[in-house]
């Protein structure tokens, strides 16, 4: 069975120290919406060299795509896949113990927004937008959900792109958009208004800058929790864009457009398993500590079978989720993808 290596455990411990020092003391400010998470996330990226790692990987990608030699300093040995995946997942697990919202803000910006551009964009689009998102120099939002769509994101999608010569005119509104109020770059997903029935229309993705004429954003929505993940609405009114902002710079064929978005969802769900693992580990840690300290009838409640049973069931849940995360790591390192059930 997979376990974190000694090197990866050292990295995990270093991440824990950062989280305990920089994030845990600010938990109340973050979770009540008094402190935005972005500067803390940038500090985290700089502390562990994640921004430089992103630049190095990006430089290698550009060199491979253009046939040029990698820039000086970017031609070192490739990072072992297991280490690379661990450096992606361990921060999610550890930060989630104190701020699920900060992880959500990070994941949507780097995983969904930059990930969509890296997966579907041209080299020019990746250079124009993706690198700054990967290094957290800019913040991204992935705008798919609409007021009436919910889980039926494609079936009920009303946002449109209308051809106008060599350009497109975009209209529509999105809601529950993570990072929406503060994003610099927005991937706006809509349907091509070409006269076809709604169910048959192509789904297009455009990259918008938040300061473009016709792009408006609400302030952060009032939520029950996770205020460290600012969530808002995005309104797009008669925004004229060229093909250079259409991801891939050409309209997709068949259902590849929808399958691409579903692939992005699959990546997001893997991260959610890591978030769950962090929450469970923190809950178990707090519960065990309390059970040892709380005294009833002259003894710690940890000595009572009922409490022991509750803690044992929590540990079973933790092991189940941990094994699911390990399974994802093994599949990804070998170049495979989880099944739909997984």
Catalytically active residues are 268
Measure Cα distances from 73 to 110, 121, 221 in Å.
23, 26, 43
Contact 108, 179 (CB under 8 A): yes
Q: In 3D, which of 125, 104, 50 has the Cα closest to residue 225?
A: 104
The DSSP bridge partners found for residue 187 are 142, 207
**In this structure, are strands 167-178 and 160-164 parallel, antiparallel, or unpaired?**
antiparallel
CA–CA dist 126, 63 (Å, integer): 13
Contact 57, 63 (CB under 8 A): no
Q: What is the DSSP string of 5-59?
A: -HHHHHHHHHHHHHIIIIIGGGHHHHHTTSS-SHHHHHHHHHHTTHHHHHHHHHH
């Amino acid at each position: 069975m997979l376990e974190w290596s000694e090197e990866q455990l050292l990295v995990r411990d270093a991440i824990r120290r950062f989280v305990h020092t920089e994030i845990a003391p600010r938990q109340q400010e973050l979770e009540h919406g008094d402190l935005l998470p972005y500067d803390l996330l940038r500090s985290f990226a700089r502390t562990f060299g994640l921004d430089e790692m992103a630049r190095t990987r990006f430089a290698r990608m550009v060199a491979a795509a253009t046939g040029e030699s990698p820039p000086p300093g970017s031609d070192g040995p490739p990072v072992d896949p297991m280490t690379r995946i661990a450096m992606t997942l361990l921060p999610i697990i550890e930060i989630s113990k104190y701020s699920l919202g900060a992880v959500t803000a990070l994941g949507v910006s780097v995983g969904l927004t930059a990930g969509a551009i890296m997966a579907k964009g041209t080299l020019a689009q990746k250079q124009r937008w993706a690198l700054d998102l990967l290094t957290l120099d800019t913040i991204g939002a992935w705008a798919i959900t609409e007021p009436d769509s919910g889980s039926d994101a494609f079936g009920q999608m009303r946002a449109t792109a209308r051809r106008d010569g060599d350009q497109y005119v975009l209209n529509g509104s999105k809601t529950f958009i993570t990072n929406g109020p503060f994003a610099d770059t927005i991937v706006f997903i809509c349907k091509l208004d070409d006269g076809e029935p709604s169910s048959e229309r192509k789904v297009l993705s455009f990259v918008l800058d938040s300061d473009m004429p016709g792009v408006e954003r609400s302030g952060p929505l009032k939520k029950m929790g996770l205020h460290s993940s600012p969530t808002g609405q995005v309104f797009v009114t008669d925004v004229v864009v060229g093909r250079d902002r259409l991801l891939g710079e050409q309209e997709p064929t068949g259902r590849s457009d929808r399958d691409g978005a579903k692939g992005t969802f699959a990546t997001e769900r893997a991260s959610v398993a890591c978030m769950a693992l962090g929450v469970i580990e923190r809950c178990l840690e707090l519960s065990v500590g309390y059970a040892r300290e709380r005294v009833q009838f002259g003894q710690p409640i940890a000595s009572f079978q009922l409490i022991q049973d509750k803690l044992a069931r929590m540990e079973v849940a933790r092991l189940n989720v941990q094994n699911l995360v390990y399974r994802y790591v093994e599949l990804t390192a070998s170049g495979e993808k989880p099944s739909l059930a997984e």
